[in-house]
A = this chain, B = another copy of it.
């Protein structure tokens, strides 16, 4: 079979980001040339370029189609991280269902009957749509943005900020984990969550709480049958996709926890990674672009080597 290809796969990458062609990586040789592809950059990273998310910040969603691992972003949504952890800890989500899969938009889950008791967690808490820029790690992406005055990455999350208002917020990139809400800004809290499965709906930024992002297993969400009701809701209960469990990794036996690392976004390796995403130098590309958009960089994830 002739491979009509855009690029070749960086096989050790777990994330869904698109990888241009790896040449044969020649890291660790004395005269290492400057990396020209994402896979070459990654091959040249050191252990210190990667961080392992704390188990209390990892959510593990188990579906019939497989496991989805998400990382909470307590730096941006501390109260939601706490409340989602509390909901998971009391097994609130287990046995609930994915109720909505809207094409080119979101997968959303919750309680179809709205009858499940919440014991120790809260049903609603005030929205955390943005926070202060002050004290926030932020590696700017100088390529510009349509939606925000400044964009960049904060501890592995695509984010934006506005020096005028002094606010910062997480961006609705593909794979973002959001907190469903009703009409009021404080009407969400964690019982209903969604994940972006389409072209990044950045118009939702600052209108709803982003609580984290998917690190692994997006393909177990993105392939789900689209709902045929309004907004992509499933119309019949038999269409619901059961949530076998949604747990905090720290509540899972160590041997069954995900073992993932995320490329640090405050390192020279990160800057090199962004640069090869911006300037496509592998031979397939004829016009190397020279720009890269916030949600098109992708923050690499790998299994712990």
- Chain B residue at smallest Cβ distance from A204: B6
Structural contact, A174 and B226, CB atoms closer than 8 A: no
A154 within 8 A of B: no
Give the copy number: 2
Whether A295 lies near B143 (C-beta < 8 A) is no
B218 and A103 form a contact (CB under 8 A):
yes
Q: Is A251 part of the binding interface, using a Cβ–Cβ cutoff of 8 Å?
A: no
Interface residues of A, dominant DSSP: loop
Q: A144-B144, A146-B145, A183-B284 are in contact. Are A16 and B103 (CB under 8 A)?
A: yes
Selected contact of A296 from candidates B1, B108, B202, CB within 8 Å: B202
**0 or 1 for each of A130-149: is its CB under 8 Å from B? (1 = yes):** 00000000000001111100
Say yes or no: is A31 at the interface (Cβ < 8 Å to chain B): no
Docked Cα-Cα span, A274 to B11, in Å, equals 41
Establish whether residues A286 and B185, one from each chain, have CB atoms under 8 Å apart when the complex forms: yes
The yes or no answer to A287 lying at the interface (CB within 8 A) is yes
Give the interface of A toward B (CB within 8 A): 1-9, 11, 16-18, 99, 102-106, 108, 110, 112-114, 129, 143-147, 173-175, 180-183, 185, 187-188, 192, 198-208, 218-219, 222-226, 230-231, 233, 277, 280, 283-287, 289, 291-293, 295-296
Shortest CB-to-CB span from A157 to chain B, Å, is 15
Q: Would A291 and B199 count as touching, CB distance under 8 A?
A: no
Contact call A147/B99, Cβ cutoff below 8 A:
no
Closest Cβ of chain B: how far from A12's Cβ, in Å? Answer: 12
Q: With A146-B293, A286-B185, A292-B203 known to touch, is A2 a contact of B114 (CB < 8 Å)?
A: yes
Instruction: Please tell me which one of the listed residues B180, B198, B223 contacts residue A223 in the complex, with CB atoms under 8 A apart.
Output: B223
* Chain B hits for A1, CB < 8 A: 99, 112-114, 233
**Residue on B with the closest CB to A227?**
B219
- B285 and A207 contacting across the interface, CB-CB below 8 Å: yes
For A2, what are the chain B residues with a Cβ–Cβ distance below 8 Å? 114, 182
Partner of A182, one of B5, B183, B188, B225: B5
- Residues on B with C-beta less than 8 A from A6 are 106, 204, 208, 231
Q: How far is the CB of A90 from chain B (nearest CB, A)?
A: 20
Give every chain B residue within 8 A of A103 (Cβ-Cβ): 16, 218-219, 222
Shortest Cβ distance from residue A269 to the other chain B in the assembled complex, whole angstroms: 20
